[in-house]
Amino acid sequence: MNFKNDFLNALRTGKDYDALMELVRRYRVQGLSHDAAYETLHEIWLEYGFDKKDAEEGTLQDNLEYVMEKVWYGCPALE
């Protein structure tokens, strides 16, 4: 499995926050570190150009940034 590819696929197909967070949680349970998860999400954010002032905001960016924020603050917790 590849977290980045699976996350991109879910993001591009319009999965909601809960589905994206569940995907992150599944990979975390399988051993993906908190730092690696955030780094991958940040890489996707940069690849989409969301770091640019002129980037068009939209649902894709909103969903990605929501998940990034949750991961940054330690969610989802491993259960």
What are 34-62's pLDDT values in tens digits? 999 999 999 999 999 988 877 667 888 99
Q: What is the per-residue pLDDT for 51?
A: 84
Distance in angstroms (rounded) separating the CA atoms of residues 79 and 76: 9
Distance in angstroms (rounded) separating the CA atoms of residues 25 and 74: 11
Contact 76, 29 (CB under 8 A): no
User: Residue 54 CB: number of other CB atoms within 10 A?
Assistant: 5
Q: What is the per-residue pLDDT for 58?
A: 82
pLDDT band at 1 (very low <50, low <70, confident <90, very high): low
pTM: 0.87
The token pair that represents 19 in the structure block: 């589905």
